């Protein structure tokens, strides 16, 4: 990220949102709203003096609410650009008379309360969508007691607890009494592989994330007891099976079966987990100090808005659809748009990097070619038969037919945008549209 | 259109004409074949890029030529390879059902199903169901359909005479 920020030919627009994309492959016109940061990101040196005087304290999103931040803050230590930002919703009214302590304190005078959103417009030849995903929120699956018991946490929260820059500086403690837990359980497939609630698909990363976490715990606390409750362990990648084997050798107990009930001992705040061990064929009970829900991944809440802006489609699970699942896995059905990372499907870092590299290569073939070849299935308008009614332009899912009602002239087909579905031809009541291959 | 004519061919009375889109339903049909699921032998599949391409006149032509059943099948509604083209298919088939009813043709003889590439089983099941329905279509019914649609087409042809440009 730092490298991308420093690169002379990469323009990074952070805190920005794409509002509108028009045009087609090679000729996209993009409108971006650059939101007001209220801090001059070029001048800010990240000294952090402003945050020390800020009187507002709110839960820190980066620490999943386990820590706090101020209304003026840096989202996380390695944030790019390395500059502070004011969250408008938290700041004490944007009224310098009401507070304005940060602006007084800043020696470089880079805090500007008058900053407003800017609209930036520019042309691009290709677009890569890499907007990622969201972790599943296990509130709905309350049989594991996530909302009721303090010592039941998600894998995201656990990740903050064992992180050196986390709220506990990497010391693992359980939330109820801040003691180091002796027995830890992981429940796999929370919100994944379930038809009734959550999501039906496998979230891909959670098995290996748990294996990694179990090894990390064993390294730091060799006496800790770890139980992993799973449906199947999917250690399919390069070196993954090896890691799983090491975790087993380190003494981590893998139990095939998802817990049926979790109850809390009101005195010790320990969790009593009942599970059908399907390998042993019996119901077992475990008393655990802490339970970690290995949550799956889901599409972002705002994915549909982006889909409308870019005219993309999604698969039934909500992730973006590729042009072909095997032969064009990084191309979107819309020409000139490419996909990378979890926006396409849940995947780990390595797969995301692979896909991103592929998407860049695909995009550069578009950018470096002088001409683009289109399949001979694009729509052609027979100008003699056309009555300029405009139905074709209305039904085209790709917006490839340009029609001006006032001109009363036959519509124009932009071949680069037409995908050849034939909807226009079927809807035309005058047989005035056919596909190019059949024309003449 | 030629594909429709070839598909109905001779012995049209027992024919089931299936329009399957290239991306989902045709692949689903392929899947049904690969899985060796039993399917009616009198069905003929016409592949289109999208179910959105299946114009009213294709379907009417199939009926006019004597097809007993017509199935239009495409990707599930949010899954269309062409974003939302199959929503137009739905509207069109809805419209056509009304029209068939007005012409005295049983609307059930035109079926619309969303079958994804992974649903070979569903494809086979739908085909079996359609075959069952096909058995209820009588020869008189088909004759009636052919006559009505031929008349319709002639009327249409008169209406659509090339406009004389002033």
The stretches in chain B having pLDDT less than 70 are: 1, 11-12, 161-166
Q: For residue A294, what are the CA distances in angstroms to A206, A411, B60? A: 6, 54, 55
pLDDT per residue over A314-364, tens digit each?
877 889 988 877 888 999 878 899 999 999 999 999 999 999 999 999 999
Of the candidate ranges A174-178, A373-377, A396-400, A403-407, the one whose mean pLDDT is the lowest: A373-377
- Predicted model pTM: 0.78
DSSP annotation of B117 = T
Say yes or no to pLDDT of A96 above 80.
Answer: no
With contact defined as beta carbons under 8 Å apart, do A430 and A412 qualify? no
DSSP annotation of B95 = H
B78 contacts on A by Cβ (under 8 Å) = 313-314, 316
Q: Does the distance separating the beta carbons of A427 and B88 come in below 8 Å?
A: yes
Q: For residue B78, what are the CA distances in angstroms to A196, B87, B119? A: 20, 9, 16
DSSP annotation of B163 = P
Q: What is the overall mean pLDDT for chain A? A: 91
Closest residue to B82, CB basis, from A316, A419, A425: A419
Q: Mean pLDDT throughout A59-84?
A: 91
User: What pLDDT does residue A95 have?
Assistant: 65
Closest residue to A422, CB basis, from B53, B79, B84: B53
Say yes or no to pLDDT of A196 above 90.
Answer: no
> Cα–Cα distance between B41 and A222 in angstroms, integer?
66
The answer to whether B82 contacts chain A (CB < 8 Å) is yes
**pLDDT band with cut points at 50, 70 and 90 for residue A99:** confident
User: What pLDDT does residue A45 have?
Assistant: 92
B50 contacts on A by Cβ (under 8 Å) = 421-423
Closest residue to B52, CB basis, from A313, A316, A423: A423
> Cα–Cα distance between A296 and A50 in angstroms, integer?
37
Q: Is residue B41 part of a domain?
A: yes
Q: Does the distance separating the beta carbons of B55 and A316 come in below 8 Å?
A: no
User: What pLDDT does residue A204 have?
Assistant: 94
Distance from CA of A318 to the nearest CA of B (A): 9
The enclosing domain of B70 has a CATH number of 3.40.50
> Cα–Cα distance between A252 and A146 in angstroms, integer?
23
User: What pLDDT does residue B46 have?
Assistant: 92
The answer to whether B85 contacts chain A (CB < 8 Å) is yes
Nearest residue in chain A measured CA to CA from B89: A423
Q: Is residue B165 part of a domain?
A: no
pLDDT per residue over A227-285, tens digit each?
999 999 999 999 999 999 999 999 999 999 999 999 999 999 999 999 999 999 999 99
Contacts (Cβ under 8 Å, ≥6 apart) of B52: A395, A397, A421, A422, A423, A426, B74, B80, B82, B85, B86, B88, B89
Choose from A111-115, A167-171, A228-232 the range with maximum mean pLDDT: A228-232
Q: Residue B23 is part of which domain span?
A: 2-160
A315 contacts on B by Cβ (under 8 Å) = 79
pLDDT per residue over A121-149, tens digit each?
999 999 999 999 999 999 988 889 999 99
User: What pLDDT does residue A440 have?
Assistant: 45
Q: Is residue B166 part of a domain?
A: no
The answer to whether B53 contacts chain A (CB < 8 Å) is yes
| Percent share of chain A, pLDDT over 90 | 65
B85 contacts on A by Cβ (under 8 Å) = 395, 397, 421-423
User: What pLDDT does residue A296 have?
Assistant: 95
Token pair of B6 as six digits:
């070839």
With contact defined as beta carbons under 8 Å apart, do A363 and A126 qualify? yes
- Kindly report the number of other CB atoms within 10 A of residue A175's CB atom: 15
Closest residue to A398, CB basis, from B53, B83, B116: B83
For chain B, how many structural domains are there in total? Answer: 1
Say yes or no to pLDDT of A439 above 60.
Answer: no
Which residue of A423, A427, A430, A433 is the best one to mutate when testing the B interface, meaning the one whose CB has the most B CBs within 10 A? Answer: A423
């Amino acid at each position: 990220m730092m490298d991308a920020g420093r690169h002379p030919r990469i323009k990074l627009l952070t805190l920005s949102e794409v509002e509108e994309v028009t045009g087609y492959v090679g000729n996209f016109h993009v409108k971006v709203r650059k939101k007001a940061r209220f801090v001059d990101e070029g001048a800010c040196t990240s000294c952090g003096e402003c945050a020390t005087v800020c009187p507002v304290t709110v839960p820190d999103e980066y620490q999943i609410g386990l820590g706090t931040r101020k209304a003026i803050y840096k989202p996380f230590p390695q944030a790019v650009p390395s500059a502070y930002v004011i969250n408008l919703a938290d700041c004490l009214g944007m009224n310098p008379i009401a507070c304005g302590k940060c602006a007084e304190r800043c020696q470089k005078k880079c805090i500007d309360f008058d900053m407003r959103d800017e609209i930036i417009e520019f042309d691009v030849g290709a677009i890569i969508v890499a907007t990622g995903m969201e972790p599943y929120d296990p509130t709905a699956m309350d049989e594991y007691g996530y909302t009721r018991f303090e010592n039941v946490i998600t894998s995201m929260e656990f990740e903050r607890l064992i992180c050196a820059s986390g709220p506990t500086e990497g010391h693992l403690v359980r939330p109820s009494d801040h003691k180091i837990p002796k027995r830890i359980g992981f429940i796999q497939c929370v919100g994944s592989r379930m038809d009734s609630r959550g999501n039906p698909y496998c979230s891909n990363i959670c098995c290996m994330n748990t294996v990694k976490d179990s090894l990390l715990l064993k390294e730091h606390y060799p006496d800790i007891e770890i139980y992993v409750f799973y449906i199947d362990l999917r250690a399919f990648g390069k070196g993954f099976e090896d890691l799983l084997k090491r975790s087993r050798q380190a003494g981590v107990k893998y139990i095939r079966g998802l817990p049926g009930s979790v109850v809390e001992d009101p005195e010790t705040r320990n969790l009593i987990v009942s599970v059908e061990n399907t390998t042993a064929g019996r119901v077992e009970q475990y008393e655990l100090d802490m339970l970690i829900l290995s949550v799956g991944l889901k599409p972002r809440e705002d994915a549909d808005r982006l889909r409308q802006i870019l005219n993309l489609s999604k698969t039934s699970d909500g992730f973006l659809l590729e042009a072909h699942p095997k032969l064009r896995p990084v191309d979107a059905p819309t020409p000139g748009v490419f996909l990378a990372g979890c926006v396409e499907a849940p995947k780990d870092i390595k797969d995301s990097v692979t896909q991103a590299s592929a998407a860049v290569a695909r995009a550069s073939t578009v950018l470096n070619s002088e001409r683009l070849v289109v399949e001979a299935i694009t729509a052609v308008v027979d100008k003699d038969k056309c009555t300029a009614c405009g139905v074709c332009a209305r039904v085209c899912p790709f917006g490839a037919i340009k029609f001006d009602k006032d001109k009363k002239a036959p519509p124009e087909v932009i071949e680069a945008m037409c995908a050849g579905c034939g909807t226009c031809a079927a809807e035309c009541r005058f047989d005035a549209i056919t596909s190019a291959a059949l024309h003449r | 259109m030629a594909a429709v004519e070839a598909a109905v061919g001779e012995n049209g009375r027992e024919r089931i004409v299936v329009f399957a889109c290239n991306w989902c339903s045709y692949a689903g049909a392929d899947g049904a074949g690969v899985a060796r699921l039993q399917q009616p032998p009198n069905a003929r599949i016409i592949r289109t890029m999208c179910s959105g391409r299946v114009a009213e006149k294709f379907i009417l032509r199939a009926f006019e030529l004597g097809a007993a059943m017509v199935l239009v099948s495409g990707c599930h509604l949010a899954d269309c390879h062409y974003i939302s083209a199959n929503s137009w298919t739905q509207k069109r088939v809805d419209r056509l059902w009304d029209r068939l009813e007005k012409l005295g043709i049983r609307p059930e003889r035109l079926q619309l199903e969303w079958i994804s590439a992974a649903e070979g089983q569903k494809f086979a099941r739908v085909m079996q169901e359609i075959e069952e329905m096909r058995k209820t279509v009588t020869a008189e019914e088909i004759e009636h359909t052919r006559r009505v649609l031929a008349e319709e087409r002639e009327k249409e042809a008169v209406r659509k005479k090339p406009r004389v440009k002033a």
